[in-house]
């Protein structure tokens, strides 16, 4: 929201540059999209045919990037697969994401966990599962020219997630809403829940790490690397 032009340059122009380079060098392109391109779910679970809704400058730029990548498949026969991860999380995730935000507050001793809206739901996929999905997409001839969702097919609200993280951390805290962390009303994506059947069918991929397993591993990593976070500051 603070630098929308930078997202256009990085995601749209950047994808055009990468696709052109792949074309020159005879490389296959596995393009990273995002579930954010779907916006708030109109129907669930979300298939790859769900309408694209640019509810933020970021999602708009990723929609443009997806189209640039696929245009190279249609126009130049560049081997392209578009992969749409649903809320990847795990050790080493950016401090501005919701899971490390909550864990950093917990492991710093906070008794109140400050969040934006707690009602939206997300489909959280552990980093190793997402990585395996990318590798499976890269190996699959059947996936060329296609869009694939990488998600677990399960959703959880941010509020319920916070309570699961409190349990995973072994701490005690309450969840409070911080108005400064709320997104603009029209841009808040209220529900994301993947339909991952196409990825399963075309690549043989399936997620393996349960949410509780992933949260415990991520909690342990954040606790061991707390100096990498600024728990009292909202990361933008």
Question: Is the sign of the CA dihedral 228, 231, 232, 236 positive or negative?
Answer: positive
pLDDT in tens, 149-165: 999 999 999 999 999 99
Say whether the peptide bond before residue 45 is cis (omega within 30 degrees of 0): yes
Question: Nearest-5° angle of CA 72, CA 77, CA 79?
Answer: 80
In a domain, 202, yes or no: yes
pLDDT in tens, 93-127: 988 899 998 999 999 998 988 787 888 999 999 99
Supply the DSSP string of 41-67, one letter for each residue. Answer: -SSSSBPTTSPP---SHHHHHHHHHHH
d(CA 43, CA 50): 8
In a domain, 193, yes or no: yes
Q: Which residues contact 164 (CB under 8 A, 6 or more apart)?
A: 156, 211, 212, 215
pLDDT in tens, 166-223: 999 999 998 888 776 666 767 678 899 999 999 999 999 999 999 999 999 999 999 9
In a domain, 212, yes or no: yes
What pLDDT was estimated at residue 96? 83
What total number of domains does the chain contain?
1
In a domain, 235, yes or no: no
Q: pTM of the full predicted structure? A: 0.90
Q: Which domain, by its residues, includes 38?
A: 4-228
Averaged pLDDT of the chain? 93
In a domain, 236, yes or no: no
In a domain, 234, yes or no: no
Question: Is the sign of the CA dihedral 4, 33, 71, 47 positive or negative?
Answer: negative
For residue 51, pLDDT beyond 90: yes
d(CA 14, CA 8): 8
In a domain, 233, yes or no: no
Q: Where are the alpha helices (DSSP H) in 84-188?
A: 98-107, 127-139, 158-169
Kind of pairing between the strands at 80-85 and 147-150:
parallel
Answer for the pair 36, 60: CB distance below 8 angstroms, yes or no.
no
Considering only CA atoms, give the Rg of the chain.
Answer: 18
Name the residue with tokens 């795990």. Answer: 90
d(CA 40, CA 192): 7
CA nearest neighbour of 162 among 121, 209, 103: 103
Supply the DSSP string of 162-186, one letter for each residue. Answer: HHHHHHHHT---EEEE-GGGPPPGG
Q: What is the CATH number of the domain that holds 214?
A: 3.40.50.720
């Amino acid at each position: 929201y603070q630098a929308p032009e930078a997202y256009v340059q990085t995601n749209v122009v950047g994808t055009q540059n990468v696709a052109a380079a792949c074309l020159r060098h005879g490389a296959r392109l596995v393009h990273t999209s995002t579930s954010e391109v779907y916006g708030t779910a109109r129907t669930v679970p979300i298939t790859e045919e769900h309408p694209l809704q640019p509810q933020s400058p970021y999602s708009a730029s990723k929609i443009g990037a997806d189209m640039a990548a696929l245009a190279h498949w249609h126009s130049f026969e560049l081997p392209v697969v578009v992969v749409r991860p649903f809320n990847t999380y795990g050790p080493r995730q950016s401090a501005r994401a919701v899971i490390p935000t909550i864990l950093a507050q917990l492991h710093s001793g906070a008794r109140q966990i400050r969040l934006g809206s707690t009602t939206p739901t997300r489909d959280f996929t552990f980093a190793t599962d997402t990585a395996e999905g990318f590798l499976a997409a890269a190996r699959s001839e059947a996936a060329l020219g296609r869009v694939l969702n990488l998600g677990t097919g399960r959703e959880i609200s941010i509020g319920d997630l916070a309570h699961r993280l409190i349990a995973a951390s072994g701490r005690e805290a309450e969840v409070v809403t911080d108005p400064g962390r709320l997104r603009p009303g029209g841009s808040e994506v209220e529900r994301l829940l993947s339909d991952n059947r196409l990825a399963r069918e075309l690549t043989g991929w399936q997620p393996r790490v349960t949410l509780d397993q992933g949260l415990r591993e991520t909690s342990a990593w954040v606790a061991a690397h707390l100096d990498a976070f600024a728990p009292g500051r909202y990361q933008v």
